[in-house]
């Protein structure tokens, strides 16, 4: 039982108000202030939630956090992917996609090497390696999905998050400092100032949002999650694991998150015009969901560990 916190773990509406309110503040800070955009709203949400937990304002565990993990995260996946038309990306950004795939392969190779070298000293390294590989290739939603899939112990998740944030904070500081170095400017020309400013203005510009687009986005996301999770249950229940081939089929196609991602990408590729229409002017709605996840699920894990 969680005691000694200003907000009890069963104060559902108060917790939701704090969670969504702080996520909104994180987005506002990221859009308004350059220092916040460098840090990123997700990190602001994480740090804020950790402070609230450590100062015993909010509990470190609550059914509200479980709701974010069990429902908000799955819904965030299709919402994120509605603007990812693989066919269109291949046509318009083939070179960039190839570079991304090479970088992804490099990440996987590095994970394998790290596992072979450190496996005997670090427990659950296979699960940690899978989580971090997914995170570096596809972001926080992949981290959440893989940690749930592999049932990684919460203490290992918390240790991984702390280590990752600590190392990556230093790494990002290095990356931020590099463009300002004279010898970097001398040997590596870039049009960052003009192109990036225009991109940021487009991102933060006021956008028209139609009610029907919101309804269609949410309806499609919920439908895809429902189909994927039910199909996963069906595959795991009805397909026997009598040999290696069937075991592999169940392992891959019986995974709800893998099914959800694959099904969403296929649907978006087939009906690209429809999804491009409903996400136009409404592309950042799922970022709020990610901030809810980053801020409160990870903070509750970290504070519980410490």
Does residue 120 fall inside a structural domain? no
Residue 2 neighbours by CB under 8 Å, 6+ apart: 8, 9, 59, 60, 61, 62
Q: Is the pLDDT of residue 284 over 60?
A: no
pTM equals 0.68
Predicted confidence at residue 109, as pLDDT, reads 95
Does residue 246 fall inside a structural domain? yes
| Residue 216: both structure tokens together | 């269609």
Residue 72: its H or E element: none
Q: Is the pLDDT of residue 196 over 60?
A: no
8 A C-beta contact, residue 45 and residue 22: yes
Predicted confidence at residue 223, as pLDDT, reads 95
Q: What is the mean pLDDT of residues 62-82?
A: 82
Find how far residue 42's CA is from the centre of its chain: 10
Backbone phi, then psi, for 78, in 5-degree steps? Answer: -65, -35
Predicted confidence at residue 303, as pLDDT, reads 46
Name the H helices within 205-243.
Answer: 211-238
Provide the mean pLDDT of the chain.
78
Range of the domain at 231: 211-279
Q: Is the pLDDT of residue 302 over 50?
A: no
Of 176 and 263, the structure prediction assigns the larger pLDDT to 263
Does residue 258 fall inside a structural domain? yes
Does residue 255 fall inside a structural domain? yes
Measured between alpha carbons, how far is residue 134 from residues 29, 106, 118, 147 in Å? Answer: 27, 13, 19, 10
Q: How many Å apart are CA 2 and CA 62, to the nearest integer?
A: 9
Of 199 and 109, the structure prediction assigns the larger pLDDT to 109
Q: How many Å apart are CA 139 and CA 305, to the nearest integer?
A: 23
Does residue 179 fall inside a structural domain? no
Residue-wise pLDDT for 92-122, tens only, equals 777 877 888 899 999 999 999 999 999 999 8
Predicted confidence at residue 154, as pLDDT, reads 73
SS3 labels along 193-215: HHHHHHHHHHHHCCCCCCHHHHH
Predicted confidence at residue 253, as pLDDT, reads 75
Kindly report which listed range (11-15, 51-55, 107-111, 229-233) carries the lowest average pLDDT score: 51-55
The count of structural domains within the chain is 1
Residue-wise pLDDT for 217-272, tens only, equals 889 999 999 999 999 888 888 887 777 777 777 777 777 888 888 899 999 999 88
Does residue 118 fall inside a structural domain? no
Does residue 187 fall inside a structural domain? no
Does residue 264 fall inside a structural domain? yes
8 A C-beta contact, residue 41 and residue 26: yes
Q: Any idea how long the chain is? A: 306
| Residue 282: both structure tokens together | 């409404």
């Amino acid at each position: 039982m969680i005691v000694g916190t200003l907000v009890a773990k069963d104060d559902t509406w108060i917790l939701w108000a704090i969670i969504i309110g702080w996520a909104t503040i994180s987005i506002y800070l990221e859009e308004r202030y350059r220092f916040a955009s460098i840090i990123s709203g997700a990190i602001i949400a994480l740090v804020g939630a950790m402070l609230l937990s450590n100062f015993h304002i909010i509990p470190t565990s609550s059914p509200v956090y479980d709701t974010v993990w069990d429902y908000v995260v799955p819904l965030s996946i299709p919402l994120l992917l509605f603007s990812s038309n693989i066919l269109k990306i291949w046509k318009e950004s083939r070179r960039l996609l190839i570079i991304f795939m090479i970088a992804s392969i490099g990440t996987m190779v590095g994970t394998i090497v790290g596992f072979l070298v450190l496996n005997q000293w670090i427990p659950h390294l296979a699960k940690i390696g899978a989580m971090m590989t997914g995170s570096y290739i596809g972001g926080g939603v992949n981290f959440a999905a893989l940690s749930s899939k592999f049932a990684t112990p919460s203490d290992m998740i918390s240790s991984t998050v702390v280590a990752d944030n600590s190392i990556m904070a230093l790494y990002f500081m290095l990356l931020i400092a590099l463009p300002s170095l004279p010898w970097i400017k001398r040997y590596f020309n870039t049009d960052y100032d003009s192109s990036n400013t225009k991109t940021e203005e487009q991102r933060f510009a006021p956008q028209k949002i139609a009610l029907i687009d919101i309804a269609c986005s949410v309806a499609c996301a919920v439908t895809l999650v429902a189909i994927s999770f039910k199909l996963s249950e069906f595959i795991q229940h009805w397909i026997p694991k009598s040999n290696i081939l069937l075991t592999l089929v169940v392992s891959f196609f019986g995974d709800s998150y893998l099914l959800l991602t694959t099904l969403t990408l296929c649907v978006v590729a087939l009906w690209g015009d429809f999804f491009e229409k409903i996400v136009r002017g409404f592309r950042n709605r799922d970022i709020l969901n990610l901030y809810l996840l980053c801020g409160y699920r990870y903070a509750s894990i970290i504070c519980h560990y410490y």
